[in-house]
Amino acid sequence: MDDARVADQTTVENAEEYAEENAGRTPGAAPGPISAQDRIEINEILSFSSHLLDNRQWDMFGEVFVPEVLLCAPQGEFTGPAGVRRFVETVDLSRFPATHTLNSIVEAVDADTAVVWSRMLLLTWDRRVACGDYIDTFRRTAHGWRIERRTVAPRNDSASVALAEGGYAPDPYAYAMFDDAVLAAAGRARR
């Protein structure tokens, strides 16, 4: 067999393997177990959750959270969309206008699970910036992607000991929380 035919045959075999491996994947999708479309949907759910919070449409939390969602925050643990609403009601909302803004990193765990680390920025009525981190575990459901666990970690909070000492990261540090959430979603523990 000449070199040209070998090259053609290899290309065809590689193309067939590629097609098999990527069957069902959206063209142009990001590599990994979730597609680019999944990432867009996850980011839209995050944005929608901020709009619901900012617009005080808490009765719609079922559109972004699974029924058994667990929210962990310095104020305690809250379960279900009604629990998320109770958490929101514990926060001094009179300080915050409707300005929750997120930037997020999505880490795919498997085809139906992703962990997202979002930096949250919001403005206080006295024109200061408050910020924090959300560490969200997303699960694909029959209704699309939904948040099944959210951890809220404030940053630069005036009550924070770290701020008083000149620090800017929550304790425990958000990146460690993100790593732990990815490992937990994958059913693994830190070594």
DSSP 8-class letter at 153: E
* pLDDT mean over 133-143: 94
Q: Please report which confidence band the pLDDT of residue 131 belongs to, taking 50, 70 and 90 as the band edges.
A: confident
State yes or no: pLDDT of 63 exceeds 80: yes
State yes or no: pLDDT of 126 exceeds 90: no
Q: Which residue has the higher pLDDT, 168 or 35?
A: 35
Q: Please report which confidence band the pLDDT of residue 164 belongs to, taking 50, 70 and 90 as the band edges.
A: very low
What domains can be seen in the chain, in order of their start residue? 34-185 (3.10.450.50)
Q: Which residue has the higher pLDDT, 103 or 4?
A: 103
Bridge partners, residue 31, by sequence: none
* pLDDT mean over 142-170: 69
The C-alpha angle with vertex 123 and arms to 49 and 163, in degrees rounded to 5, equals: 105
Q: Please report which confidence band the pLDDT of residue 173 belongs to, taking 50, 70 and 90 as the band edges.
A: low
Beta strands in 26-160 (DSSP E): 65-73, 76-79, 101-110, 113-123, 129-141, 144-155
Whole-angstrom Cα distance, residue 110 to residue 128?
39
Bridge partners, residue 79, by sequence: 70
Who contacts 21 (Cβ-Cβ below 8 Å, separation ≥6)? none
* pLDDT mean over 151-160: 68
User: For 106, phi and psi rounded to 5 degrees?
Assistant: -105, 125
Question: Distance between alpha carbon 54 and the CA centroid of its chain, in Å?
Answer: 18
pLDDT at 91: 75
